[in-house]
Amino acid sequence: MAASAKLPVITIAADGAASELRAQLMMDSHQTQQPLLSYEYTCYGVYIWAPVFTVTGPLISVTDVPHACKTSRNQPQHGTHTASLRVGFVVNHSLVNLCNSAGSGLVKHDMENVDKQDDGAARRLYTHQALWATTEGNDGGRSIRPGFEGLFVWLFVFGEFPAG
């Protein structure tokens, strides 16, 4: 439909529902007249590709932003999931420590008996207040609090995406 309307579609998003993921896979697998848009960084096992349609251009399939925020919030909280970042790491205890920090904006319910689909918890985590709570100092100079280095990076990177 986009091609017939000469409407360039840049991206399509799905929230993880099986039918939406199948639709994305169908679009990603669609044979086109143009070569694929691709990027590879084999050292880290990164292989990204997207079909390029003649009329509408490249089509990038992504998870919708609110779902991506919930997923990234959930990862450190379940099982032994750990994000190892060059300057630190993120585990569930990192989030618990943030919740116990003044001004983080997180509430106890965000850490205990977690609802994995809680949009509000994801929004509270990816805010400037939560990022600010990982730092110390005054307005003239702030630094990352000891033990919060990995979480600061995590929030800075994922906080760039609006949580919903």
Q: What is the pLDDT of residue 8?
A: 77
Cα distance between residue 148 and residue 128, in whole Å: 15
The pLDDT, as a whole number, for residue 154 is 86
Q: How high is the pLDDT of residue 29?
A: 78
Tell me how far apart the alpha carbons of residues 20 and 23 are, in angstroms, rounded to a whole number: 5
CA distances to 114, 121, 155 from 126, rounded to whole Å, are: 16, 9, 6
Q: For every one of its 164 residues, what pLDDT tens digit does the chain have, with 9 covering 90 and above?
A: 777 888 777 777 766 677 777 877 777 777 888 898 888 888 878 788 888 888 888 887 777 777 777 777 877 777 656 667 677 888 888 889 999 999 999 888 887 777 777 778 888 888 899 999 999 987 778 899 999 998 998 888 877 655 44
pLDDT number for residue 80? 59
Q: Which amino acid is at 80?
A: T
Domain positions in the chain are 11-63, 65-158
The predicted structure's pLDDT at residue 160: 67
